[in-house]
Structure 1
C-alpha cells in the first residue's frame, strides 16, 4: 500500500493536504443527505457527495476530553488514562506523560512528515488550558475558562476584546451555561462575530497563505454543544412543532445506566417534557445549519486552491447528544444517540486507488482511533496504533 501512495505522489502530485473538521456533540443522524429531512446541511452534503460515508462510526468513550485525546494520540482510553473530563491518570507501570506512553501527538507526527500544521478551535486539554499539541500554529477557542488568565489566553476572546470591545461585557460569549444549559437561546453576537465564524475566518486565512508545503489542518468547532444558541436568523429557522418528539424506552431500561439520571439532574434537565425537547432541538438544528455555513466557507477556500483535488478531508464529531431520547440529555452512554458519530472522508485525487468514490456508503466499523492512521498513511508513513488501516480496508 505504501507503493500505491508513492505512485500517487510520483504522478505529478505531492503529498496530499489533509483537513480534519470536527464538531462537538454532533449526532450521527443530523445530516440531510444521509436521511434527516428535518434539517438543512447543504455544505456537509457537499462532503457526502465528495467522498465516502462510514455509516457505522463510533466514539469509544463518548465524552469530550477522552475523545479528543483519542483523536490526537490514536490510542484508546486504556492507554491515554482519560475516561472523563478530568486529569488523565496513567495505569500503574506506565509513563506519567501522555506522549511518553502514547507516542507523538498527531500534529507532531505530521510535522515530522514535512507538513505545515495548524490547529484552530476547541481542544479541551487538561490540566493545562493551552497544552502544546505540536502545531506550527495553534489557536485555542475554548468554551470554558477556569480563571482570568485562561480567558486572556483564548484566541477568540482576545479577538473580541481587541477588535470588538463593544461585546467585551458579555460574560459567556457562547451562550449561558447555567440553569439555562438546555434552555433554547440566541447568540449574544451577530453571525459574523461568533466563535464559529472566527474559527472559519482563521482557517481560510491559513488556506490562502500555505503554499510551499502540504498542510495538515485541524478545525474544531465548539457547536452544536449546548447551550444551543445560534445567531440570528438561525435561531428561528426551525419550528419546534415540525420536529419529532424524543424516542423513549421503558424507564427501567433507559435508567439502567445510573449516569443518565445523575447527568440530567446536574444540568437541570430532569423535568424537560416533549415540547421543551422539541424546542431545544430546534435551536440545536439551527446551530448545526449555522456551522454548516461556516464549513461551506472553508470548503470554498479549499476549492479555490489549485491543489483542491489532492486534499483529503475528514468530517467527524467527538460524540453525540441524547436530546431527550431514552429519557437522557448530554452524552456519556452507549445509546446510539450518544456514541454513534458522523464520519465522512474524501480525497478526489486518491479516489480510484483507495475507492473513495463520491456518495459511496460503507458499513465497515470505524472509530475515532482510526483517524491517526488515516492521516499518517495518506502522508506516506502509516502509524495505525490502536486503530485499523482504514485506507487499506477500503482498497480491499
Structure 2
C-alpha cells in the first residue's frame, strides 16, 4: 500500500548543565577585560570569551548563543547601550542575561540601559567577589531557564511522536477502508493509489502548498466511499447500465458525502468535498450538485481528472484498458468541457512523472500493458 510518510519529530536536545555555560565579555580596555576574564575564569564550570571590539563580539554572538554577556558602557567604537540594543535584536538573545559594566552613575544612563535590555549593573571599579556573585546568580537563573527550555523541547518531541503515530494509524485506516470499497466494483488497490498520486501531482503543478498536496493525496482514496451503498449487481454489471441503474450509480456521490460530512479535520473535510464533487463537469453537465466552472471546489476538479484518467487506463469488467497516450489524449479533448483546463494543463506538466508511476504501479491484471 502506497502512502506518505508521517512527519518525523526532531530528536530531543541534550540537557544543558553548568559545565556548558559560556560567558561573553565586551570591553575595549584591555586591562579591564583581562581582569574581568581572570576573575570569572577561576570558576571551572564557565567558559569565558573576551572581546575588545564590540563589532567583532556582535558577529560572534550572531552565530553563537552565550549564556551571559558582560558589556562595558564607555567604548569608543560602539557604546554599551547600542551594543545591548543590537544584542537584543538577535532572536536568540531575547532572554540572555546582560550585565552592564559602568563607572557612570548617571540615572539617565542606567534608565537608558534598562530600556535597551540590560538585566543588571556592576559599578567600576568592581569588587571581584561581587562580580562572581552577580554572575553566579544570573547564571543560576539562566540554568533554570535552559532547563525549562530543554523540558519544553522534550515535551514537544513527545507530542510530535504521539501525533506522528496517530497520523500513521489514520493513514493506514484510510487506505484499508478505501481498498475495501474499491474491490466492490472490481477495482484494485493500485487504482486508488494511482488516482491519489495523480491528484497530488496535479495539485503540485497548480502551485498548491505542501499541506494541500498531502491532504488531497490522503483524501482522494475516499472519493468513492459512497459505492458502499450501491448494490454489487450494478457495480459489477458487464453490460450497458439502464437509466435506472445509472441513477443508482450517481447516488454514490451523495452517499459518500453523507458518510464523510461534519468532519473536524482538514483531511475529512476535503474527503467529503471530493466525494460530493468529483463527478461534476466543468460545463455543468456532470452530477452531484450540478455546479459549473470554478464553483466546483478545486479538490473536486483535480480528482475528476485523476479519476477519469486512471479509469481509462485500467481494465474493468465492461471494458479493456486504454493505452496511456490514448487516455491522455481523451483527457485533453475534454478540457473545457468535462475538465478544468488548468487541471488538464497541470496533468500535462506532470506527464513524465505520471508515466513512470504507471510503469511501476500496474494493475494486478495487466494494466501495465496499456502503457
- TM-score bracket, normalised by the shorter chain, equals under 0.3
Bigger relative CO (Cα 8 Å, ≥ 6 apart): 1
User: Which of the two has greater helix per residue?
Assistant: 2
User: Which of the two has greater strand per residue?
Assistant: 1
Q: TM-score, normalised by structure 1?
A: 0.24
Q: TM-score, normalised by structure 2?
A: 0.25
